[in-house]
Amino acid sequence: MVIFAHYLKNLFGKNPFSMAKIKYYYNPDTCTYEKVKPQASEIALQVGIFSVLSLCLAVVIVYFYSSYYTTEKEQALREENQELLEHYNLLNKELTEVTDILKSLQQRDDNIYRVIFEAEPIPSSVRSAGSGGTDKYRELLKKGLKKEKLILNTKSKIDQLKKSLYIQTKSYDELSKLIKNKNAMMACMPAIQPVANKGLARLTSGFGLRIHPIYKVGQFHPGIDFAAPQGTPIYATADGVVEKATYEGGYGNYVVINHGYGYKTLYGHMSEMKSQVGQKVKRGELIGLVGSTGFSTAPHVHYEVIYNGEQVNPVYYFFKDLSADEYEKILEIASKENQSLG
């Protein structure tokens, strides 16, 4: 304040905070000294200058005070803002971690689950599609937020995560339906041997090139043969509907079951058919008895698996009633060169 007063003294030639000096002038008419009265304009100018300079000084003082000294309330607000900023940064980190977990689930979905259930993977363009541009956040932008970039980035991440989660839940709904269909398909897939075969001694001829039992020449054998006593039960190897139950020269009495999903099975050389066309059968249900009808040299059942119109090796469809060791053994037996029975 002393410095300011000194400055005003240099400006006006006097100290405005000290008692004003009284000036006199000599009046020749009265032959006396009279007080000099200051003019109103001079007083107004001095007051105006003093007020402006005082205001400037006050602004400077307030600025420096607020910059270096804070009230308890201001300090509390600063700490609160800092805490909120830290929470925002933590939230962003957690959002990134959740997004990474979701990406892992998406990869499993496309590369494992959908492969198992023979479903097309969800296109990446669908999974990564945006949820809207900055226009979506126009109301936030109008507010002129100081941490606008951070807030908009967090909001965008949350919206994208919500969209990706929605797509993933829809994918799981689809997989749930596929699982139900898969269970039905598994029941209709050939999975057991057509006759009881403890000790695996009954398989006498495998799939592929074999010696014909009558003509004694090499010939493609489209199924496998199980030797068994006359009248041994023959079972359906999967759920399905009997498509044929008739006699034919080569197969003798034979039954064809349509299992759906592209699968059919054939059972030949029966002594007696225990099923009829149109009959629904379950896996393990009796459909006929072992015989030697048709082109056959001994009682046995000729068994075929047809998938999408092509005869395939039935030995690959015994996975339900064999252990791992038994399955390896039957593969070895089926691969040996031997003569078919018919």
Query: Pick from 18, 53, 68: which residue ends a domain?
Result: 68
Asked whether the beta carbons of 91 and 154 are under 8 A apart, the reply is yes
- Looking at the fold, whether 99 and 182 belong to one and the same domain comes out as yes
Give the whole-angstrom CA distance, residue 104 versus residue 114.
Answer: 14
Could you tell me if 106 and 205 lie in one domain?
A: no
| 61 shares its domain with 149 | no
Whether 204 and 271 share a structural domain: yes
Same domain, 50 and 98: no
Instruction: Give the list of residues 6+ apart from residue 337 with CB closer than 8 angstroms, or none.
Output: 210
Q: Which pLDDT score, from 0 to 100, does residue 19 have?
A: 45
Q: What is the pLDDT of residue 32?
A: 77
Is residue 228 located within the same domain as residue 163?
no
Is residue 331 in some structural domain? yes
pLDDT of residue 17: 45
- Predicted pLDDT of residue 145: 59
Predicted local distance difference test score (pLDDT) of residue 9: 53
CA distance 201 to 203: 6
Q: What is the pLDDT of residue 289?
A: 97
What is the mean pLDDT for each group of 10 consecutive residues in the chain (342 residues)? 51 48 71 73 79 85 71 77 79 84 81 73 74 57 63 79 85 81 85 89 80 61 91 96 94 96 94 96 96 90 94 88 82 70 58
Q: Based on the domain organization, do 169 and 230 belong to the same domain? A: no
Domain boundary among 164, 187, 210: 187
Assess whether 293 and 245 both reside in one domain.
Answer: yes
* Number of domains present in the structure of the chain: 3
- Compute the Cα dihedral for 116, 119, 121, 126 and give only its sign: negative
For residue 312, being part of any structural domain is answered with: yes
Tell me: do 331 and 209 sit in the same domain: yes
CB 326 within 8 A of CB 289: no
Please check whether residue 207 lies inside any domain of the structure.
yes
Domain end: 162, 187, 212, which one? Answer: 187
Domain encompassing residue 93: 72-187
What's the rounded Cα separation, in Å, for the pair 44 and 276?
124
Residue 246, SS3 per DSSP = strand
Q: Is residue 287 part of a domain?
A: yes
If asked whether residues 50 and 139 sit together in one domain, one would say: no
| The pLDDT value given to residue 220 | 79
CATH classification of the domain holding 267: 2.70.70.10
- Co-location of 154 and 225 in the same domain: no
- 300 and 318: one domain? yes
* 124 belongs to a structural domain: yes
Contacts of 162 (CB under 8 A, 6+ apart): 131
- Angle subtended at Cα 110 by Cα 109 and Cα 114, rounded to the nearest 5 degrees: 80
Per-residue confidence (pLDDT) for residue 143, from 0 to 100: 58
